[in-house]
Amino acid sequence: MLSGTYNFGTGDKFDKEKTKALPPGSTVINQPKTNHFAWTDEEPEIQVHGVGPWAINYVNPEDDPRKK
């Protein structure tokens, strides 16, 4: 996290109560194929690193904004 607060959780279904607030300076490391979700009520600045190839796969395809 570079700035702002980002709320992050793992699992197959979004649940605000199961997230952890990540303030600036926080780091998250996800294992491959770990289902996760996030929310924010501000505009955080995040930095993402990864080894490709990678993709975004929605647990519920109806949530994919690219298909709307």
What angle is formed at CA 44 by the lines to CA 40 and CA 47, rounded to 5 degrees? 120
* Residue range of the domain that includes 61: 1-68
Query: Tens-of-pLDDT digits for all 68 residues of the chain?
Result: 999 999 999 999 999 999 999 999 999 998 888 999 999 999 999 998 888 888 888 998 998 999 87
- Which pTM value belongs to this model? 0.78
Q: Which pLDDT value is given to residue 25? A: 95
Domain count, the chain: 1
Q: Which pLDDT value is given to residue 31? A: 87
Q: Which pLDDT value is given to residue 47? A: 93
Neighbours of 11 (CB within 10 A): 13
